[in-house]
Amino acid sequence: MQTQNPFLDEMAKLTTAAMGLAQAASDEAKAAFRAQADRIAAEFDLVRREDFEALKAEVAALRAEVAALRGGQEGAPSTAAPSDIP
């Protein structure tokens, strides 16, 4: 047998409402944090990973071309490896 207790019913309703409010506040805080992070990132002059990798590949190709051109010269200094660049 189950009995109905109005006090427990009201407490369950209040708890459910409080959890819903907490979830809404959490979602609002996440949205505000994400917006602030986006504004901060927009202020920096950041480079996308794809652009960086493309430029890195282009620099490596140019280094190889310079090395090939210097191959005919004697006593030419060796080129630095890309990992040597700070």
Looking at residue 80, what is its pLDDT?
Answer: 56
**What is the distance between the alpha carbons of residues 21 and 29, in angstroms, rounded to a whole number?**
12
**What is the distance between the alpha carbons of residues 9 and 35, in angstroms, rounded to a whole number?**
39
What are the boundaries of each domain within the chain?
6-70
**What is the distance between the alpha carbons of residues 79 and 70, in angstroms, rounded to a whole number?**
10
Q: What does the pLDDT look like over 24-52, one tens digit per residue?
A: 999 999 999 999 998 988 888 888 899 99
Looking at residue 70, what is its pLDDT?
Answer: 92
Residues in contact with 56: Cβ distance below 8 Å, sequence separation at least 6, in sequence order: 82
Number of H helices, E strands in the chain: 2, 0
Q: What does the pLDDT look like over 48-72, one tens digit per residue?
A: 899 999 999 999 999 999 999 998 7
Looking at residue 1, what is its pLDDT?
Answer: 47
